[in-house]
Amino acid sequence: MLSKFFYTAALTALTSSFFTVPATAQTAPAAALTRADDTVLEMGQAFRRGDKTRLTALLPQVRGHVLEPWAAYWELNSRLNEASQQEVQAFLARYAGSYQEDRLRNDWLLLLGDRRDWTTFAAEHPQFRMGDDRDVRCYAWLIEHVKKGPDGTGALADNVKKNWYAQRDADGGCRAAAERLLASKQLAPLDIWRKARLSIENNRPRPTRDAVEMVSPESMALLAIIQANPSQFLTDKKLAFTKVRKELITLALVKLAATDPDAAAKFLAHKWGFQLSSEERNWVWGVIGKQSAIRFSSPGSDPLAYFDKVSADSDLTDEMLGWKTRAALRAGNQPRWALVLSSINAMSGDTRQDPTWIYWKARALLAATPTPTAPKRAEALALYQSIASVRGFYEQLALEELGQLITVPARPAALSNEEKEAARSNASLQRATHAIAIGLRSEGVREWNYATNLAQTGGMGERELLAAAQLACDRAIWDRCINTSDRTQGDMDFAQRFPLPFRDAVIKRSRDIGLDPAYVYGLIRQESRFVMEARSGVGASGLMQIMPATARETARYIGLTGFTANQLNDRDTNITIGTAYLKRALDDFGGSMAMAAAAYNAGPGRPRNWRNGPQLEAAIWAENVPFNETRDYVKKVLSNTTNYAAVLTGQPQSLKARLGMIGPREASAPPPDDKMP
């Protein structure tokens, strides 16, 4: 059961003007569509189905419309492959400074790169403001390499490799750049094989084939066997131990480890390990350890036993080291703090700056020895201080390690009329809000992000971000309100970052069924950002992102008769069913907010398995959740909840108090509700 701590009265906040949202701003007003709006929407549909003829016919009808740049972008993009350079330049000039100009330039640069038109590419690339396309970056680096030759391109090769490794799917620019750098010996064959290893582990056949074909085209038939049946390949006794064959054996072991780490470990220990180089063995043991750690509930698996076989952590990726750290945290009844510390220290500099590893390194410095030295205590203190704030999960935990609780920051100075007017008159924000209002949410969100993202435009300071966020809040575009306000680094406006839409409905329903309203708000903020029409890729709907099957079962459970799935679009019904489901999860997991949040995101069966093992701090348990999405979700929901509790109560709050401990269900505890979906 939740303790009394979580039920502090929210009456003060309910009457406070600081966090009050006007009733008229609770939901975004429905836009009255004009004929031109309808034409723009029709053009959006024609673009998605690739109807170039219809786009060209409709474009003259939307000249002068606020969303004309979008309509013109769709029309030209649909036929960009056959468009002349003059047409492209005319578009870029007509819509200069807009998101659509930069978006089309991105598309044009990719096409120029594919065509190997380096002269035109080099002329256009300096005007590309977003700079966020990895393939475009790699094409630019390739041109730089061609200009400079093999001298002085070490940093360039590192940049290409980093971007290429980060790409999930098949690519053009980074592959072409890597191939060129391989030919000039700026990249080694091992760099290419490592790309193949990363791709095959994550079941990405095309990038795997591209990498192997680049470094060993004669091996494609063997790669096909590995992709289809790695065990069959590994049982072949006739394999010749050339360097290429060893790399193929490594790929087969990595492929097998992704689905059966214990089987891969047997092959490596008893058959192939002595044939591989130390780098190859370390990589495979790292993959086996990582995959075993992800499957920590498997009986008999010991991830650290596999990681202990690695002779040099420098051969492991940051992702492998992250899972080694997580496995060390959940080892037995006491974390292996020395191993936590050494694993984090082996990570790259960028990864070590993540608040996750800063926090755990500080903990390890203090816990690795019974009496930490004064320098280690000072280092741990400095690490905590470097991240301590109310911004996120580990930032809040660091704040509490320094003896402080989570409180609402002082609100920034009120926005002036001039600052508000500047946001209202921003052409890109006008297009974004109009697009969202008529149902083009994806386009509106992209345009909004372009206008407000400091990295893209360099044009918005913190006060401008606050003004843009307030514009979104005033128009009940809650996701842009929250995300834009979240970008400020100095002033933090919690009225924007943690708004209270639908306040009466959420708080009344939560309190009626014994839920902490802050927990419900923290979950909704993460699920939908209060966008009523939100739809996930798997069919979850509404504020609380409920799947239809879950909704039907929950409706039966609470006696809601006559329920149909389309009722999930109704705000109050969505809140009623979502809170009922969350309450069942919370009761099923003994009041653990972390486990209930995991159940809400990943289904209740998985957290029941993940709780097996030693009793752990909930922070350690959450960090070991095997799904990246669910791990991130749990931490954000709990962090949101703590901040919302500070908002609702006006009192200092503790994230640690909400976390507690997690372990196997006690034998005397009642069984879980097996009917829970």
Q: Kindly report the number of other CB atoms within 10 A of residue 518's CB atom.
A: 28
Non-local CB neighbours of 26 within 8 Å, separated by 6+ positions: 476, 501, 502
SS3 content of the chain, % helix, strand, coil (to 5): 65, 0, 30
Q: Return the amino acid letter for 168.
A: R
Q: Which of 400, 409, 412, 483 is nearest to 643 (CA)?
A: 409
Distance CA 498, CA 496 (A): 6
Whether 421 is catalytic: no
Distance CA 98, CA 443 (A): 13
* 272, 253 Cβ separation under 8 angstroms: yes
Give the 3-state secondary structure of residue 563: coil
CA dihedral 213, 197, 283, 360 (to 10 degrees): 150
Distance CA 563, CA 505 (A): 19
Q: What sign results for the dihedral spanned by CA atoms 458, 462, 467, 470?
A: positive
Q: What sign results for the dihedral spanned by CA atoms 125, 131, 136, 140?
A: positive
**Residue 520 dihedral angles phi and psi, to the nearest 5°:** -65, -45
Distance CA 10, CA 25 (A): 21
* 103, 131 Cβ separation under 8 angstroms: no
Q: Return the amino acid letter for 520.
A: V
Beta bridge partners of 617: 661
Which helix (H) or strand (E) element contains residue 617?
strand 616-617
Give the 3-state secondary structure of residue 616: strand
Residues in the chain: 677
Crossing angle of helices 427-438 and 441-452, rounded to 10°: 160
The DSSP-derived string for 370-424 is SS--HHHHHHHHHHHHHH-SSSSHHHHHHHHHTT--B-PPPPPPPPPHHHHHHHH
Which helix (H) or strand (E) element contains residue 227?
helix 220-228
Longest C-alpha distance within the chain, in Å? 79
Distance CA 602, CA 627 (A): 9
Distance CA 519, CA 586 (A): 11
> Per the residue annotation, which of 527, 553, 617, 629 is the catalytic one?
527
* 149, 158 Cβ separation under 8 angstroms: no
* 490, 410 Cβ separation under 8 angstroms: no
Non-local CB neighbours of 576 within 8 Å, separated by 6+ positions: 509, 558, 560
* 476, 571 Cβ separation under 8 angstroms: no
Q: Which residues are catalytic?
A: 527
